[in-house]
Chain A
Amino acid sequence: MLSRTASNHFGLSYRDPGEFLRNAAGFAADGLRNNHRLAYVGDGAAAELHAELSTMPGVAEHLDSDAVQVIPAIEFYVLRRGEVVDAEATLDRYIDGVQRATADGYAGLRALVDVTPVARTGKQRAAMARLEYLGDKETTMRPFSALCGYDAARLGPGADELICLHPRVSNSRVSFRLYTDPATEADLVLAGEIDAASSQLFAHTMQRIWEFAPGHTVSIDATGLEFISHRQLLLLQQSAWAHNRKAVLWTGQPILHRLAGLLELTRIDVREAP
């Protein structure tokens, strides 16, 4: 089950469509119960998606109203060259959807999205990473919530590349999250645990994120970072160096200050979180 937290952007890993629907049902019903319009973006024709929602308690009874919208993924996403998501244009659709929902008298918009169809290739995932990044930045302060599903059976490790960009993850082996949160002053939020098992994913993620994050020095709120080993700190430093950037890591953990001193980091400035 998904935990109900202050955050409104979830990444969900699933291995069969039934698992996705079971995990999403509570999220969808909860939104409708709280007068949010539900938008279901899935991999299939509208009739199939409609049928899938009809199995969900708390959702089925709304299917004939404008509280529920069903949109095939291929129609919802703005694609470049018919393949890669145009992050900015797609984000505009989300924002437009929120505005229309509130104009129609709803408290907001809740999106249930199976992202798998547009996350199959490296290029597609790079574009989706940008959308996930921009999404947090632009929608967090709006009455919008989203559950993004990724089929790990079809995407393999590629699913983790995008799930780790969500403030909240469910049903996933991803151990860290890297996302934006306009409620903080930092450019990025880094949370969870990063060790040898997640090192490659962390390196890959950082490589993408440098391209999105603004300015020469990127401020990272690491107050929710429960563990990072020296190798991954060094990796962060090397990644910053390769992109000619610097990072300020805000933390409440003295161990990070000690590690930074031991490693003589020049590209990573570890500071005490206020």
Chain B
Amino acid sequence: MAVQKSDSGCFTHPAFFYGSEQEYLDRLAPFISGGLAAGQPVFVAVPTDKLALLRGELGGGLALLELADITEAGRNPASMLGHLLAFADKFAGQPVRLIGEPVWPGRSPDEYLACLQHEALVNTAFAGRDVTAVCPYDVRGLSAEVLDDARMTHPVLWKTGGADHRSRTYSPDLVWDKANQPLTTSPTAIVCIVRTVQDLTRLRAFAADYAGWLGLSANAKADLLLVVNELALTSLRRGGAPCRLGLWRQDGRIICEARDRAGLGDRLAGRRPYLQDDAGRGLFVVNALTDLVRIHTTATATTVQAHLGWAA
């Protein structure tokens, strides 16, 4: 089935399966240069080695081209949409091209589930906008299950050596459900219960004590205090009180978990640019400050786990 038009107005969201650096360049370099030649702004967020590859092909001094290393800018998959939307917003009203490669070989299982949620939400976030957002997938290092998931989150598939076509299995809501898995609390978690905003001072003191026990640097402690404050406040604002805020160490990270009694509602909360997302601003800040944010939500409860790098 050849592609004529995307499912969401003029938004196009293809997955590009590539098997070599050459295939990568052959498809993406013309996509970038073609866009720029047509006066279309292009934002590229790909892993470090792919970024170097594209840079070598494209050269420099391209005014409408913005490049980012996704292993930094999109380390936390939940923060990726904010970058993409912010770039598109800068050029609102004109066609924009995006390349985002949030899934790369080596992503942890937890990170991958967060990537799935991101990919499922891209379609909603850009619906109706004149944007083409290509997501490259390296078939050499990714499992068949990952590629199957990509077919479910992308309405269009680009394949080297064949015609672009619609995905027969496109169903992002199913993928969201798949990634919306219950999250487990560590038995080693220390816990603080937050019922009202008046409890926030006590919560930060609790987190400051924890930072002290771990010997965190002043900067890491400041991050931790802001994250716990925002997780708890987000719960309270959604009507989820009491919020059970837990902290524990896991695999070289500090996990901050907020469990409450209200559904998340807006799946895009915290993923839009800050000023466009009043209700999601707390989660936006958490997404920006942390390495990973995992969310499980039902109609009556939400758990958010934010992973912070542990810098002593």
Residues of A within 8 A of B (CB): 175, 193, 195-197, 227, 229-231, 253-255, 258-259, 262-264
A selection of 15 A-B contacts at a CB cut-off of 8 Å is: A193-B204, A195-B200, A196-B200, A196-B236, A197-B197, A197-B201, A227-B229, A229-B229, A229-B233, A230-B226, A230-B281, A253-B222, A259-B226, A262-B284, A264-B275
Question: Closest chain B residue to A254 by CB distance?
Answer: B219
A197-B274 CB under 8 A given contacts A229-B226, A262-B285, A262-B288: no
Number of residues in B with C-beta < 8 Å to the partner? 23
**B285 & A259 in contact (Cβ 8 Å cutoff):** yes
| Set of chain B residues within 8 Å of A263, measured between Cβ atoms | 274-275
Q: Give residues 166-210 of B contacting A (CB, 8 Å).
A: 197-198, 200-201, 204
In whole angstroms, what is the CA distance A175 to B282 when docked? 21
A254 to B311, CA, bound (A): 14
User: In the complex, which residues of chain B have a beta carbon less than 8 angstroms from the beta carbon of A262?
Assistant: 274, 284-285, 288
Assess whether A254 is in contact with B222, with CB atoms less than 8 Å apart.
yes
Give Cα A195–Cα B275 distance, bound, in whole angstroms.
19
Seed contacts A230-B285, A259-B226, A262-B285; 5 additional CB < 8 Å A-B pairs: A195-B229, A227-B204, A230-B226, A255-B222, A264-B275
Q: In the bound complex, what is the Cα–Cα distance between A196 and B231 (angstroms)?
A: 13
Interface pair B288/A197, CB less than 8 Å apart? no
Q: Within 8 Å of chain A (Cβ to Cβ): is B260? A: no
Instruction: Tell me which residues across on chain A come within 8 A of B222, comparing CB atoms.
Output: 253-255
Cβ of B293 within 8 Å of any chain A Cβ, yes or no, is no
- B289 close to chain A: CB less than 8 A: yes
**B281: A residues at CB distance < 8 A:** 230-231
Determine the residue in chain B with the shortest Cβ distance to A231.
B281
Tell me if B230 is interfacial: C-beta within 8 Å of chain A. yes
* B169 shortest CB reach to chain A, Å: 37
- Residues of A near B197 (CB, < 8 A) are 195-197
The smallest C-beta distance from A159 to any residue of chain B, in angstroms, reads 17
Chain B residues whose CB sits within 8 angstroms of the CB of A253 once the complex forms: 218-219, 222
A195: nearest residue on chain B (CB-CB)?
Answer: B200
> C-beta contact mask, B244-279 vs A, less than 8 Å → 1, else 0?
000000000000000000000000000000110000
- A197, B229: Cα distance in complex, Å: 11
CB distance from A80 to the nearest CB of B (A): 37
- Encoded as 1 (CB less than 8 Å from any A CB) or 0, chain B from 94 to 110 comes to 00000000000000000
Is B223 engaged at the interface, CB distance under 8 Å to the other chain?
yes
Q: Bound complex: CA of A264 vs CA of B274, how far in Å?
A: 9
CA A184 – CA B241 in complex, angstroms? 42
Which of chain A's residues have a CB closer than 8 A to the CB of B230?
229-230
